[in-house]
Amino acid sequence: MLRLTAAFAFLLLQLSARALAAPEIHTGAEQPEAYLPLLKSHQVGLVVNQTSRVGEKHLIDYLRERQVEIKRIFALEHGVRGNVENGGAVADGIDGPSGLPIVSLYGGHYAPAEESLADLDWLLFDIQDVGVRFYTYISSLHYLMQACADHDIPLLVLDRPNPNGDYVDGPVLEPQFRSFVGMHPIPLVHGMTVGELAQMINGEGWLENGAKCQLTVIPVSGYHKQMAYSLPVRPSPNLPNDLSIRLYPSLGLFEGTTVSVGRGTPFPFQALGHPADRQGQFSFTPVPVPGASENPKHNGERLSGDDLRETDARTRFSLTPLLDWLQRTGETPEQFFSRAAFFDKLAGTDTLRKAVMAGKNEQEIRAMWQPALAAFRERRQHYLLYPEE
């Protein structure tokens, strides 16, 4: 009996230790007491998608049940319900489930027009990001902040954890490579949440003419940057699970090459393949997938390559796959970098591509961006909302 009691006590101690090690977190959207009073009796525009949820309920429904007056929804890449492939057209229209009007902010009109903001008292942003510079939700955030600053509309950001928020790595974007897949002088993996980055955009004067957005951020409670965070809803059609999100920083660069990242398969961003590869023990054939990959790279061709689905779930950004596959395709560097200009935009610099073509190894390449990384880490300290340890 004494042993049972001691074992039970030990179990309680273990459970208590786990509870202390992994506190329960609550996203910004899950803290209505912090933001509903701000929205009461006001007209609101929402920037939301399929990830904008309070528990099992979509934020649109959650707010309407609490008598928040929603005027319209602004749609980013992949659409309000997350069923549009990358780069696919996102049109104005009506959101079927809610009946609310949709204003597209993707496909040439990245900033809301003055007339779509004129009757709003608040613009609310609640989108799950993945912490990689070329993932376009943060570029859309920039344009929204600019529009809010220009038209004197306050912006409310309901923050969410960053699933790649436990580290900072990769080249820092150089101004001449600024584009919609990279707008800010931040590393490829920046380690910041959307709320933190919004504060940095404001504080560093990155909006046009140094404008300032009236910004309110509802932070995630109980969160620190080393926490592993599993996304309850896929953030876009080709990032279906936690592993694809962790591999995305490394594999996203292959979009500027001839190598497939598994688009057009059930495992996008969890495989690499090429028709000429002879080393891989894995094969797959990309085919069109409606709403995810309508015309995948090497459509209909049998590819040889690597199955990455058993990769460590906490993998970090690495150049090893890129350097390895430059040799495996049998192509010249010029052929391998089939979309060189796009690769440079993704990387935020042309020095990475040129260093790879020059035969430099990973250690030599990484050394090139360490001073800029150190400067960024110091610069971002003023805007962090969550402890790093």
243-258 per-position pLDDT tens digit: 999 999 999 999 999 9
Residue 117 lies in a domain: yes
Residue 384 in any domain: the answer is no
Percentage of the chain beyond pLDDT 70 is 92
Is the same domain home to 65 and 143? yes
Tell me, yes or no, whether 379 lies in a domain.
Answer: no
Residues 221 and 291 in one domain: no
Q: What is the pLDDT of residues 290-346, one digit of tens each?
A: 988 999 999 999 999 999 999 999 999 999 999 999 999 999 999 999 999 999 999
Looking at the fold, whether 102 and 218 belong to one and the same domain comes out as yes
Instruction: Write b or e for each residue in 308-327: b if 16 or more Cβ atoms lie within 10 A of its Cβ, otherwise e.
Output: beeeeeeeebbbebbbebbe
Q: Are residues 56 and 200 in the same domain?
A: yes
Give the confidence band of 151 by pLDDT, cuts at 50, 70, 90.
very high
Say if residue 35 is in the same domain as residue 165: yes
Average pLDDT, the chain: 92
Q: Is the pLDDT of residue 105 over 60?
A: yes
Q: Which structural domain, as residue segments, surrounds residue 42? A: 28-230
- The reported pTM is 0.91
pLDDT given for residue 23 in this prediction:
67
CA separation for the pair 83, 96 (Å, rounded): 13
Q: Within this chain, do residues 85 and 220 fall inside the same structural domain, yes or no?
A: yes
- The answer to whether the beta carbons of residues 103 and 120 sit under 8 Å apart is no
Instruction: Write down which residue in 184, 206, 230 finishes a domain.
Output: 230
Q: Please count the structural domains in the chain.
A: 2
